[in-house]
Structure 1
Amino acid sequence: MPELTVTSDSAYVENAFAWARDQALAWVTTDVAQGNLSSYWAGYPSRPMFYSRDVCHQAGGAHLLGLDAENFAMLRHFAASATAVRKWYPVWAFHFDGAVAALDYRGDDDFVREIPAVFDLTWRALEQYDWTGDRRWLDDPDLAAYYLRSVDDFVALHDHDGDGVPEAPGTGDIFAGSATYNEQDADHPLIVAADGIGLQYAALTALAKHHGPAYGERANKLQQEFLSTWWDAGQGRFARGRTADHGLDFGWGLESSWIAPMTGLTGDGVRNEQFLDFVEQQLELSPPKNIEAFSYLPEVFFRHGRDESAWRWIRHLIDSRDDYPEVSFTVVHHLVAGLLGLRPDAAAAALSIDSHLPADIGRLTADHVRVGDWDLRIAQEGRHTTEVTLHSGPGPLTVTVGSAGHHTIEPGGTVRVTTQTKDPS
């Protein structure tokens, strides 16, 4: 398979991509030792392991780098680890040979677990089906069972008040279970967190595509309940979570604040924009202490058209040159899928493109982007022109560029589309 490349009128972007690509590929552990799973490092560089949360977030960049076998092996391994005795939580971390990482696991009822990870795994695995069109993501018995158990059995077991949302013990002890990905807030523990609800919403929405509208209806009900009860008009923000006394906490919650808009839970419109203003303000006043937390921010702002803000945080990740694996993997994803605005549906032979180029970048080209078995070159000039070349593939591919309609490209063909979208000023 030809290697993914990025060219641009910005030497900064080209150098950043080369660094991120090489750094990410250096973390691949598939053939490093006999007995390793197809795998890559996903967690602290000091820990030879792959973590559930990290793999979920690194999978998009990993696909672009040709690491589909690794994504499948690791995400499937987590899915298979979620058993009844573990109360349907997946194990938090594994060594590269597939052995449970004892550092985070003391027993079947005493291991690190965070509610958002349960749903994140379903959402991100089904995203890989969108990228690859590989039926194993739907048909593999361990994955197929996990998807439904994550939103059915897991929720039923941990939803103690019957509102359709699982609760954590609220002790702040991650070995007993946390409601949120925000591990910096153990002194103010939550029983329900907005990032958990957001990822539950994302999992249900993804499942609706493959298991029928009932899952979409559940996602809509979850969102409407959140929008109607978790908003405070006086403060102009959504709550980050619910505390043990069942009161809503409207403070700054890092992941428990920004993952909700990243998944679309907060909807669109005035309230969502007010909340994003709050998130942006707090990121400047009280940023996270760990570099990997920043790796989510471009997704948050790209989703809601705040492209200059997304670019600000991509630059922050790039300039860090941090060796935490999540940084390099997500920089690859942000520079290609994020900036170009790629939304694949390989099974339907379709790709949507919507430029998010900031003012700093006049031209960006990604060559050998893989969508299913199609090999593409995607070039953008500002936000006004997109050119797509289909190097090869099993047949025609339908490409939608912004609001310019659908274009069918045959293998060996090129389409050039000019849109009415203005370049950023």
Structure 2
Amino acid sequence: MEITKTSTYYLLLLLVVMLGSCKKETEKKPTQINTGELLFNSSNKELDKAFSWAKYKALSYAHDNDDPVGYWYEAALPDREAFCMRDVSHQAIGAEILGLGKHNFNMFLKFAQNISKEKDYCSYWEINRFNKPAPVDYENDQDFWYNLPANFDVTYSANRLYKWTGNKDYLENPDLINFYELSLNEYVDRWELGSDKILNRSRSLHTPENLEKSRFGNKRGIPSYNEGGRGETILGIDMSASIVAAYRAYAEMLQLRGNLSLSAEYMEKAKQEQEFLDQFWYDNENEEYRSILYDNGNFDYFMVGEDQAFLHYLFYFDAIRDDSKILDLVEKYETNFSKLIVELKSYLPIIFYENGKSELANKMIINLCSPLNTRRAYPENSFTVIEHLTRGLMGLEADAATNGFVSFSRLEKDLEWAEMDNVPLLSNIIGVKHFGRTKTIAHNINGETIKWTAKIPGTHEFLFVNGTKTNCTVEKNTPQPYSYLSIDLKEGESATVSTTLQS
């Protein structure tokens, strides 16, 4: 058959149409893959709803690399399009669990890169999406808002991120090392924050020369995260707790980097600051902690008004070790938590989980995520709910130094169950399911062999591993005694640890 130019044209046109049709069909039905997104399910459906809301709300605050600041998520008051040092530090583990590791590292690096002598070794308290100090908090290098615990909080939280992720950049990045060392030396000296000077320092150090024309005055160096109260805050207990935590954190980082002698020096500084905290802040006569020292010499204790219960920072910075004092504070928060603002409430559920009050912690998380909570949209709320459920209810902890993770069921009743899948930690993706307080299944979904330490509540002579009776170790010196053993999980492997032989 003779092929004319006209027929050739129509054949080519038909071929183009067919190819185009195939392409459109492929686009309509993309290949379905497992995205690996974090999942949580339990016998408490209200808790499931809270998790779902918190996950999607937190992820809605995450921004990709299109903005000048790079990867970032919102960590400030809603709609500021910015992230501040306190909020990022508090949201970071929740963000990491949600897969926002690039965002975390970029934001911590931004804080580190903006520390300067001109700002008296402060960084920018709040950075916006345009990679600039947020105008609401910053006028110039001599006039800006700054809460002094921030440098220590960032240092402490960077170490926590290393433990969770195994990302050695948190230990070895030159900009971060510079930030840690300036913060724990020049910054401490410049602001007279060491325990040998802090009670005699001026509250108005390094204020702008022309104070009358200053926007922020002595808010350039607030010695606490407390921003209200009954007068001029001279010092907050969170200031002392944060410096203890930062010294310990950097001592651990130095040890991991092999600098044992310098690590010991920082650990000694942490010990001295801990002694100051224990002696100055604890009122032996009244048998309770003070929380804020004012310019008239008076103290706040647990609570004066809805935003003055600043003793939760003792838990957050791991600066309280006495079990009786811990339980006393837990009881105070249990009685009064409903009076607190969302920012403070967002620190509490894990405290309740870790001290035998899981039912209260569950109710609190449900309340924090409820539409009836008019301030639930604060970014800090949704990010920290993810951490509370992961580290609190499920008891998951990662330790990069041992290439392992821990699980500990904090379910309230034996008939309850809860599972969390696709949890990123170290170089792995893991899943864990608890059945009450007597059985746990762990799954190394993806990644190299990892050590799982299964902690089972209660004291047991032995545990069963995949049905085999196995010796275990008992830990009694803790608010919640437990038995534990360790198992190496290869990629794709699951294991079951229980108190009885499972059918």
- TM-score (norm. length: structure 1): 0.90
Deviation at 1:341, TM superposition (A): 1.3
Gaps of at least 5 residues in structure 1 are: 421-425
User: Which residue is equivalent to 2:498?
Assistant: 418
Q: Does 1:118 align with 2:151?
A: yes
What CA distance in whole angstroms lies between the structure 1 residues aligned with 2:197 and 2:165? 32
Deviation at 1:404, TM superposition (A): 1.3
Deviation at 1:241, TM superposition (A): 2.6
The code of the aligned residue for 1:114 comes to: N
User: Which residue is equivalent to 1:385?
Assistant: 439
Deviation at 1:250, TM superposition (A): 3.0
CA contact (8 A) 2:349 2:361 kept: yes
SS at match of 2:311: helix
Deviation at 1:214, TM superposition (A): 2.7
User: Which residue is equivalent to 1:296?
Assistant: 347
Q: String of CA shifts for 1:12-45, please: whole Å, max 9, x gaps.
A: 12211111111111111224x4534101111122
The code of the aligned residue for 2:54 comes to: A
User: Which residue is equivalent to 1:19?
Assistant: 53
What CA distance in whole angstroms lies between the structure 1 residues aligned with 2:46 and 2:283? 41
Deviation at 1:221, TM superposition (A): 2.4
User: Which residue is equivalent to 1:356?
Assistant: 410
**CA 1:161–1:202 in structure 2 vs 1: closer, same or farther (change >3 Å)?**
closer
Q: Does 1:207 align with 2:269?
A: no
CA contact (8 A) 1:262 1:299 kept: no
**CA 1:381–1:164 in structure 2 vs 1: closer, same or farther (change >3 Å)?**
farther
What CA distance in whole angstroms lies between the structure 2 residues aligned with 1:50 and 1:360? 41
Question: Which structure's CA Rg is the greater one?
Answer: 2
Q: String of CA shifts for 1:168-197, please: whole Å, max 9, x gaps.
A: 726996633212212232x42322211111
Which is worse superposed, 317-326 or 64-73? 317-326
Deviation at 1:128, TM superposition (A): 0.9
CA contact (8 A) 2:40 2:48 kept: yes
What CA distance in whole angstroms lies between the structure 1 residues aligned with 2:163 and 2:111? 20
SS at match of 1:102: coil
What CA distance in whole angstroms lies between the structure 1 residues aligned with 2:195 and 2:455? 43
**CA 1:396–1:331 in structure 2 vs 1: closer, same or farther (change >3 Å)?**
closer
The code of the aligned residue for 1:69 comes to: K
SS at match of 1:84: coil
User: Which residue is equivalent to 1:423?
Assistant: none
User: Which residue is equivalent to 1:87?
Assistant: 120
1:325 to 351, 362, 379: 379
Deviation at 1:222, TM superposition (A): 1.8
User: Which residue is equivalent to 2:362?
Assistant: 311
What CA distance in whole angstroms lies between the structure 1 residues aligned with 2:237 and 2:358? 23
Q: String of CA shifts for 1:367-399, please: whole Å, max 9, x gaps.
A: 011111111111111222221111121233343
**CA 1:331–1:160 in structure 2 vs 1: closer, same or farther (change >3 Å)?**
closer
Gaps of at least 5 residues in structure 2 are: 1-34, 206-215, 255-262, 457-482
What CA distance in whole angstroms lies between the structure 1 residues aligned with 2:414 and 2:185? 46
Which is worse superposed, 187-196 or 118-127? 187-196
After superposition, where does 1:6-405 map in structure 2 within 5 Å? 6-31=40-65, 33-159=66-192, 163=196, 165=198, 169=203, 175-185=219-229, 187-211=230-254, 212-244=263-295, 248-250=299-301, 252=303, 254=308, 256-284=310-338, 287-288=339-340, 290-319=341-370, 320=373, 322-359=376-413, 362-402=416-456, 403-405=483-485
CA contact (8 A) 1:123 1:206 kept: yes
What CA distance in whole angstroms lies between the structure 2 residues aligned with 1:305 and 1:170? 43
What CA distance in whole angstroms lies between the structure 2 residues aligned with 1:355 and 1:314? 17
The code of the aligned residue for 2:485 comes to: G
CA contact (8 A) 2:414 2:437 kept: no
May I ask how many residue pairs the two structures share in their alignment?
A: 415
**CA 1:110–1:234 in structure 2 vs 1: closer, same or farther (change >3 Å)?**
same
**CA 1:396–1:360 in structure 2 vs 1: closer, same or farther (change >3 Å)?**
closer
Which is worse superposed, 38-47 or 69-78? 38-47
The code of the aligned residue for 2:362 comes to: W
The code of the aligned residue for 1:298 comes to: P
**CA 1:358–1:196 in structure 2 vs 1: closer, same or farther (change >3 Å)?**
farther
Deviation at 1:240, TM superposition (A): 0.5
Deviation at 1:305, TM superposition (A): 4.1
What CA distance in whole angstroms lies between the structure 1 residues aligned with 2:158 and 2:38? 22
User: Which residue is equivalent to 2:476?
Assistant: none
What CA distance in whole angstroms lies between the structure 1 residues aligned with 2:451 and 2:194? 47
Q: String of CA shifts for 1:73-132, please: whole Å, max 9, x gaps.
A: 011101111111111122111111311111100111211111221211111111111111
- TM-score (norm. length: structure 2): 0.76
Which is worse superposed, 236-245 or 322-331? 236-245
Q: String of CA shifts for 1:106-165, please: whole Å, max 9, x gaps.
A: 111211111221211111111111111111111111111112222222112112776265
What CA distance in whole angstroms lies between the structure 1 residues aligned with 2:218 and 2:148? 10
What CA distance in whole angstroms lies between the structure 2 residues aligned with 1:220 and 1:121? 20
* Matched-pair identity in %: 27
CA RMSD of aligned residues (A): 2.5
User: Which residue is equivalent to 1:409?
Assistant: 489
CA contact (8 A) 2:414 2:438 kept: no
